[in-house]
């Protein structure tokens, strides 16, 4: 499986399903909050990911990525950082009723 296929199956598809649930409920996480968290995820994780790949702890099969590399990390990895934040924001928005019920 390619990295893009992984993203499609395990991140994008569930995010779209959660988006449909939220659309039906007419509720959304604040996009500004998601943007800030996504920016933090990219800024925090980029140096770490690049260092760990340079040290050979893990690598990416060049036949399974798009070939666009920032530093030594493929673009798909950066997309994962951002898409995972969106997915998590959607899931938490869906679960908000059960996780943060006001005390009576």
Write down the pTM of the prediction. Answer: 0.88
Mean pLDDT on 76-104: 88
Q: What is the pLDDT, as a whole number, of residue 102?
A: 62
Percent of the chain at pLDDT exceeding 70:
96
Half-sphere exposure (CA, 13 Å, Cβ side) for 84?
A: 13
Residue 15's contacts (CB-CB under 8 Å, 6 or more residues apart) are: 83, 86, 87, 90
At 65, is the secondary structure helix, strand, or coil? coil
d(CA 62, CA 67): 7
Residue 104: band (very low, low, confident or very high) from pLDDT cuts 50, 70, 90: low
Q: Is the pLDDT of residue 91 over 90?
A: yes
């Amino acid at each position: 499986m390619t990295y893009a296929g992984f993203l499609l199956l395990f991140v994008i598809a569930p995010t779209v399903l959660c988006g449909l649930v939220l659309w039906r409920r007419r509720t959304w996480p604040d996009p500004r909050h998601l943007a800030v968290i996504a920016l933090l995820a990219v800024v925090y994780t980029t140096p770490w990911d690049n260092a760990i790949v340079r040290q050979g702890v893990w690598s990416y099969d060049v036949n399974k990525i798009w070939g666009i590399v920032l530093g030594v990390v493929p673009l798909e990895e950066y997309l994962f950082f951002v898409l995972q934040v969106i997915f998590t924001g959607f899931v938490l928005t869906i679960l908000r009723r059960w996780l943060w019920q006001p005390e009576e």
